Amino acid sequence: MAKAKAVVCNVCGRTLKMERGILKEDAFEAKKQWGFFSEKDATLHSFVICEPCYDKMVASFVIPPKIEDATEL
């Protein structure tokens, strides 16, 4: 069985905690496939942001993200 790859925050470069191939902290993951009318047509961008970097990023938003309680995890 292959060992899980390390997960690294694209903002601060910190390697997230893993134990026996299981990620032991959560992170924000984003993927965007750019389409027409952009300067990035037909490219796929993806990144991971650790929770502290996410908190700093959204604190700078003029309009904060919509936050709702999840009923199932």
**The pair of three-digit structure tokens given for residue 48, joined into one six-digit string:** 């991971």
Strands in 1-73 per DSSP E: 18-19, 22-23, 27-33, 44-50
As a whole number of Å, the CA-based R_g of the chain is: 15
Residue-wise pLDDT for 25-42, tens only, equals: 999 999 999 998 899 999
Tell me how far CA of residue 21 lies from CA of 1, 47, 48, in angstroms: 11, 20, 17
pTM of the model: 0.82
Whether residue 48 contacts residue 10, with contact meaning beta carbons closer than 8 Å, is answered with yes
Mean pLDDT of the region 51-73: 95
